[in-house]
Amino acid sequence: MNSKILSLVICLMSVTESWAATPKYIFYFIGDGMGLGPIMVTEAYNRTVLNNTEHLQMLQFPVTALATSYSANRHITDSAAAGTALSTGSKTNNSMLGVTPDSLPTFSVAKLLKENGYGVAIATTVTLNDATPAAFYGHAPSRKHYYETGKGIIDSGYDFFAGYNLLSRNNNKGEETDLYDRIKKAGYTFATGKEEFETVKNHDKIVYLNKPNGQGHCGYTVDSLGNENFNVPYLTQTCLNHLQRVSPNKFFMMIEGGNIDWIAHANDPGVVKSILDFDAGVKIAYEFYKQHPDETLIIVTADHNTGGLTFGVKGNKRVTLKNLDYQKVSISRFQEYCKNLQKTGESILWEDMKTYIKDNLGLYGAIEVDEKDDKMIKESFDKTFNQKNVEDVKTLYTTYNNFIADVFSVFNRYTGIGWTTTGHTGDFTPVFAIGAGAEIFNGVNNNIDIPKKIAAAAHLNF
Ligand SMILES: [Zn+2]
């Protein structure tokens, strides 16, 4: 190519670039722990049990790509390093949040957009200063420094926050001021629960918390916690309502499906219901996109895979996803049930437990239990409740007794799904996108590329 033609091509490319539509409305969905395996299982449930002829909403987007999720110091990331990557475009070490490996603060794409006139909302189904949401406003050498990361809300200037609660309200390291008071002084109104929110929803800057429910997060979809708890569609709609009021011309929201990760850490197949809930939130953004197709960008991704869920498990080659319809309780809820029984001090009878399992998991009812597993489950029951010399199983967010672990391992096996870990895995994460600038997400992304591409789509230097 001679130099005249080359410069003409470059000139044309830059004209096309400046013509590319700039998204005014950006939705960034992060399914915490929502790897490709869990999405595949949810899609199969959607197709074969719910009989939906359409794919999950996120799978309908024209851009379907991958991302790598490794952190600065590990093949397998945690949510702090991954959140930092997805928010600030910087790799950091596991457990570090919004800082580089040498503890220098990094800069979030949410902040960049705020400084460029976008209204910003951050929402999650878990605690608001947990790693993923906090990576969009906070900075701390450890994700466990909740007070420190929570303070990031004060300087963020963002318009709306929603989540279960804020941890470490009172700093135990000598600073005298209550975190909530400091955030209030910065101009935010707190609302706890839907009723209270109704009375303050016309305020400009709001921190909106789920009513305490004893779960430590907004509740798992499989437990049917009722209307009082936030789910992903509710959070998406609430952020949308707020941003359309305070910043109707330009806005950005990050919505995290945080308890997808929590339930997957427990190897609980109820994760499928949590992903369906997440997808219902994506659908709300998609409905908005249909009204503003040239001005909206939706990106859906995950920070990592949790649990390594997939089809195929030792001892069972068949997949029976219909079993998931018999599950009425999460592992956490089952644990609560056992704890409450134990608190009464009365002996727990196998027949009663069997009825509970039948009513809440279908085992011994719609799902036949074979002789070998029946024997194993009964022995496990006896060891856990009568001999009481068995240690509980501890995963990152849930502790449960061995009996529950055994019952769920049978339930998982009969369903045909297997788990490789109660931690995270290092496999590829999904990236789905639609709208203005979506095509630049095509291909294999490094997770740090994603916020950079969001900024590039908005024609901002990052
Ligand atoms: Zn996790």
pLDDT of residue 103 exceeding 90, the answer is: yes
For residue 257, how far is its CA from the centre of ligand 1 (angstroms)? 12
For residue 307, how far is its CA from the centre of ligand 1 (angstroms)? 9
pLDDT mean over 209-222: 94
Closest CA to 260 of 280, 240, 241, 288: 280
How far is it, in rounded angstroms, from Cα 362 to Cα 354? Answer: 10
Residues facing 124 on adjacent strands: 256
What lies within 8 Å, CB to CB, of 332 at 6+ separation is 215, 220, 223, 263, 266, 268, 398, 400
For residue 130, how far is its CA from the centre of ligand 1 (angstroms)? 11
Banded pLDDT at 342 (limits 50, 70, 90): confident
Across the chain, mean pLDDT equals: 93
pLDDT of residue 111 exceeding 90, the answer is: yes
For residue 395, how far is its CA from the centre of ligand 1 (angstroms)? 10
Range 24-309+428-457: architecture per CATH: 3-Layer(aba) Sandwich (3.40)
For residue 91, how far is its CA from the centre of ligand 1 (angstroms)? 17
pLDDT of residue 223 exceeding 60, the answer is: yes
Burial state string for 337-363 with b = 16 or more CB within 10 A and e = fewer than 16: ebeebeeeeeebeeeebbebbbebbbb
For residue 417, how far is its CA from the centre of ligand 1 (angstroms)? 19
pLDDT mean over 290-319: 95
User: Comparing 421 with 387, which gets the higher pLDDT?
Assistant: 421
For residue 33, how far is its CA from the centre of ligand 1 (angstroms)? 6
pLDDT of residue 225 exceeding 90, the answer is: no
For residue 423, how far is its CA from the centre of ligand 1 (angstroms)? 7
For residue 206, how far is its CA from the centre of ligand 1 (angstroms)? 27
pLDDT of residue 172 exceeding 80, the answer is: no
What pLDDT shows up at residue 17?
A: 47
Residues facing 209 on adjacent strands: 163, 192
- For CATH 3.40.720.10, the residue range(s) in the chain are 24-309+428-457
For residue 397, how far is its CA from the centre of ligand 1 (angstroms)? 8
pLDDT of residue 252 exceeding 80, the answer is: yes
Q: Between the CA of residue 332 and those of 216, 360, 399, what are the distances in Å?
A: 11, 13, 8
What pLDDT shows up at residue 5?
A: 58
Banded pLDDT at 326 (limits 50, 70, 90): very high
pLDDT of residue 175 exceeding 90, the answer is: no
pTM: 0.94
For residue 232, how far is its CA from the centre of ligand 1 (angstroms)? 18
Tell me: the pLDDT tens digits for 40-90? 999 999 999 999 999 999 999 999 999 999 999 999 999 999 999 999 999
Structure tokens at 153: 């809300």
Structure tokens at 446: 């490094």
